Amino acid sequence: MPQALFRFFLTVACLVVLAPAQAAKQGLCLAGGTYHSVSTVWFDDGNSTARSRVALDGVLFTRPLKQTEKTRWLGLQFQGLTMEVDGKPISPRFFQVPFAVELDTATGAWLQTHFNGPLRLEDQAQVLALYGTLQGPDSTLIPPEGVTRLERDSIGSATVRYDSPALGTITRRKLAYEVLRPGDEGQALTERVAVEQDETTLKELTCGFRSADGRSSTEAFFRGGMTVKTLQRLAVAWDRTLAAPPGLRLAVLGEDPLAWPAVDLAWLYPPPPKTPLADAARFLAALSALDQDQIDDEALKALLFNNDRFLEALQDQFRAGTFSKAFQENLLLRIGQTDAPQARALLVTLAADETLTPAARFGSLMALRYTPSKLEPESLEALMDFSNLSNLSEDGQQLADSALMVLGEVARNTEDGAVTSRLTQAISTAASDQRRLIALNALANAGDETTVPLLGDYLSAGNATVRARAAEALGGIPTAQARALLQGQLQDGNPPAVRAAALEGLGKQTLDAGEVAALTRFTAPEEPLPVRRSALAALAAQKKAHPEVEGTLKALLVQTSDRESMEIIMRALYQQ
């Protein structure tokens, strides 16, 4: 079955049947239930036909979460979900990851979704297809005459009719697809989808739970003549005695889904078993064989993944200049992406190896930015020691300074508080302002909100250059505290460089309309030129979130004679 058609099949096949269950513990509103659905699909390309069957069996738990005046969050988690495709059962772990949907209190509209883990986009689509068939306005929001509205799914936009024959009961009928989404490159485009029948009865139960009883029959017509007909059936199996299993993640997570700690990527997508070569010599030979004009990236990544135990042997190869320039650059990148302690240790060792070329050492440092996991303590310690070196050659000192910058990116990408802590120590113990500036840059790369108080200290004291650098770092941390600290540096008595940096930092923040309007006063002719330019840059950065800024910028364009200011405005107005 073509992959694109299989994804289409799974999307439309995901109807869910639910039943209420007992709460997991006193005071926690948690409901769950079993479901079973079967989808049968017939493929016809004009020459031959094929039939496929998918069955879904498992349990779903729901839990009301954080509520505001205008919205509410509903948490969901599947347990023990098995997908049987043509008699072959699979149990993908991504189905077990809790997720939450934010719903509009007034309309029931589905506003956004948050997953408790880094699901791939195609896997998110499968999970959301399950929830999507249950979503709709509460029965109390449906008028007696019913309501019809346009809803989007992975196929396109369809007209959907909702009625409420009784309080707590909702009928949902998909009438027709009005607009179809274009296909990916190389994918057969869907020309038309005929909805022969698509009706589901939903019943509102406890703790945000809805039972569902539905049936649908659709036929999709693809460019090139292929047709796909899908028949879906589901049966409700009530189980009022169902209790949450021990360790159900949804039962212990907090009320705010945006603050949920994510599940581990390695658990979510466990790597396949490794198949290493017999020894390092065979590994190096296989690696050298890949050093061709056309590099086979997939083969290279697989070779490094399977043979991480031999990575240490590569140091001598780099010293000897064994690899071509293009292959060496790509090899370092792929080592950085290899999720293994040996890979991170090798890159740290190469960066500090004075016998290597500056390009190889710098490439090793840059590759560390792509590590998918936290640095091991020994690698972190070695890199910090290297960054603290002085009296080096010009190239060596640039590398040592760059090591801190890279550590900041690693801290951000891997959410490693241990690295951030070492960077804050580096600022506190810096022997010179130059060293302090480098550490502030690294902390800016980390973007950790726990560092805001420390950055605030350097923002309000010290020389203007250090203060400006602290403002730049705060600009990359989108919190109310960081925003308030930056706004506090805009007074006329502060050095222009500090005020300018604070304005540019505010441009990176999420501002309300009043805060955006306040930026305009710093474009006045009596302001120092660096301040005016930064105010314009801050306004330009807010144009997407605040379309009214466009009019402000156009008015300022005719008032300025400074070429750089005009360029800032022109880029904001006319460049995509």
Q: What's residue 17's pLDDT?
A: 32
Of 152, 16, 28, the closest CA to residue 95 belongs to 16
Please answer whether residues 178 and 158 qualify as being in contact, where contact means their C-beta atoms are separated by less than 8 angstroms. yes
Give me 125's structure tokens: 């689509």
Question: Could you give the 3-state DSSP secondary structure of residue 165?
Answer: strand
Span 301-305, average pLDDT:
95
With vertex at residue 467, the alpha carbon angle to CA 464 and CA 473, rounded to the nearest 5 degrees, is 140
For residue 86, what pLDDT is reported? 86
Q: What is the pLDDT of residue 5?
A: 44
Mean pLDDT, to the nearest integer, of 410-439?
A: 90
Eight-state DSSP code of residue 261: P
Report whether pLDDT(189) > 70: yes
Which of 181, 182, 215, 176 shows the shortest CA–CA distance to 13?
215
What average pLDDT does this structure show over 528-540? 95
d(CA 264, CA 350): 29
Query: Do 101 and 110 touch, CB atoms closer than 8 A?
Result: yes
Cα 47 to the center of its chain, rounded Å: 42
Q: What is the reported pLDDT for 237?
A: 67
Which tens digit of pLDDT belongs to each residue from 41-87? 999 988 899 999 999 898 999 999 999 999 999 999 998 888 898 88
Q: What angle do CA 196, 198, 203 make, to 5 degrees?
A: 160
Pairing of strands 227-237, 31-44: antiparallel
CA dist., res. 472 & res. 145, Å (int): 56
Q: What local confidence, expressed as pLDDT, does residue 489 receive?
A: 94
Q: How many CB atoms lie within 10 A of CB 216?
A: 22
Which amino acid is residue 64, in one-letter code? P
- Token pair of 171, please? 């009928």
Cβ-based neighbours of 370, under 8 Å, separated by 6 or more: 333, 336, 337, 413
Q: How far is CA 470 from CA 64, 113, 473, 482, in A?
A: 41, 34, 5, 11
- 236 strand-pairing partners: 35
pLDDT above 90 coverage of the chain, percent:
68
The pLDDT, as a whole number, for residue 392 is: 79
- Out of 237-246, 300-309, 338-347, least confident range: 237-246
C-alpha angle with apex 36: 155 to 74, nearest 5 degrees? 65
Nearest to 303 by CA among 328, 329, 322, 285: 285
Q: Which residues pair with 90 in a beta bridge?
A: 83
> How much is the average pLDDT of 172-183?
87
Length of the chain: 576
The pLDDT, as a whole number, for residue 261 is 93
Contacts of 481 (CB under 8 A, 6+ apart): 449, 452, 453, 456
Looking at the predicted structure, is the pLDDT value of residue 4 above 70? no
Rounded distance, CA 122 to CA 3, Å? 11
pLDDT in tens, 541-552: 999 889 999 999
Task: Quickly list DSSP for 186-250.
Answer: TSPPEEEEEEEEEEEEEEE-GGG-EEEEEEEEEEEEETTS-EEEEEEEEEEE--TT--PPTT-HH
Number of neighbouring beta carbons within 10 Å of residue 396 = 17
Q: Round to whole Å and give the CA distance between 434 and 559.
A: 38
Mean pLDDT of 75-103: 91
- List, in order of start, the domains of the chain with CATH numbers: 3-241 (no CATH), 280-496 (1.25.10.10)
Asked if 349 contacts 343 with a C-beta cutoff of 8 angstroms, the reply is no
How many CB atoms sit inside 10 A of residue 555's CB? 12
The answer to whether residues 330 and 295 touch, using CB atoms and an 8 Å cutoff, is: yes
pLDDT in tens, 307-320: 999 999 999 999 99
Mean of per-residue pLDDT scores for the chain? 89
> Which candidate, 135, 140, 141, places its Cα nearest to that of 167?
140
Assess whether pLDDT exceeds 60 at residue 18: no
**Distance in angstroms (rounded) separating the CA atoms of residues 489 and 485:** 7
User: pLDDT of 521-532, one tens digit each?
Assistant: 999 999 999 999
Phi-psi region of 122 (alpha: psi -120 to 50; beta: other; left: phi over 0): alpha
Instruction: Look up residue 322 and give its two tokens.
Output: 């064994």
What is the rounded CA–CA span in Å between residue 71 and residue 77? 20
Average pLDDT over residues 148-176: 92
| 475, 504 contact by CB (below 8 A) | yes
pLDDT tier at 566 (50, 70, 90 boundaries)?
A: very high
Q: Residue 236: which pLDDT band, with cuts at 50, 70 and 90?
A: low
pLDDT class of 353 with cuts at 50, 70, 90: very high
Which candidate, 321, 309, 268, 286, places its Cα nearest to that of 116?
268
pLDDT digits (tens, 9 = 90+) for 456-466: 999 987 889 99
Q: How does residue 557 score in pLDDT terms, banded at 50, 70 and 90?
A: very high
Burial 33-49 (b: 16+ CB within 10 A, else e): bbbebbbebebeeeeee
Whether residue 82 contacts residue 91, with contact meaning beta carbons closer than 8 Å, is answered with yes
For residues 551 and 92, what is the distance between their CA atoms, to the nearest angstrom?
Answer: 51
Task: Grade residue 576 by pLDDT with cuts at 50, 70 and 90.
Answer: low
The pTM for the full model equals 0.65
Cα–chain center distance at 96: 18
Distance in angstroms (rounded) separating the CA atoms of residues 58 and 367? 42
pLDDT at 7 over 50: no
User: Could you tell me the pLDDT band of residue 418, with boundaries at 50, 70 and 90?
Assistant: very high
Closest by CA position to 233, among listed 221, 215, 245, 213? 215
Please, which pLDDT band fits residue 25 given cuts at 50, 70 and 90?
very low
pLDDT exceeds 80 at position 402: yes
